Amino acid sequence: MKVQILEMLILFPADFQNSNLKGAIMKCVEIESAVFEKAIFDDTTIWPENFDPIKKGAIKL
């Protein structure tokens, strides 16, 4: 599995629509401004504290 590491990257503006974020480390600056509609993630995806990807349209598998 390819692991994506996006730690401390500034994501403004970023579009992750329909992306596969399973196993990704998404500890990014300005992540709230990114688009996650229909992006998929799993229990191994690491998000910043207090960030809810589901509210941004991502789908947990």
57 or 7, greater pLDDT: 57
14 or 61, greater pLDDT: 61
The CA distance from 30 to 43, in Å, is 22
Q: Are 59 and 36 in contact (CB under 8 A)?
A: no
pLDDT in tens, 2-54: 556 565 556 567 899 999 999 999 987 788 889 999 999 999 999 999 999 99
Report domain extents, the chain: 1-61
What is the pLDDT at residue 19? 96
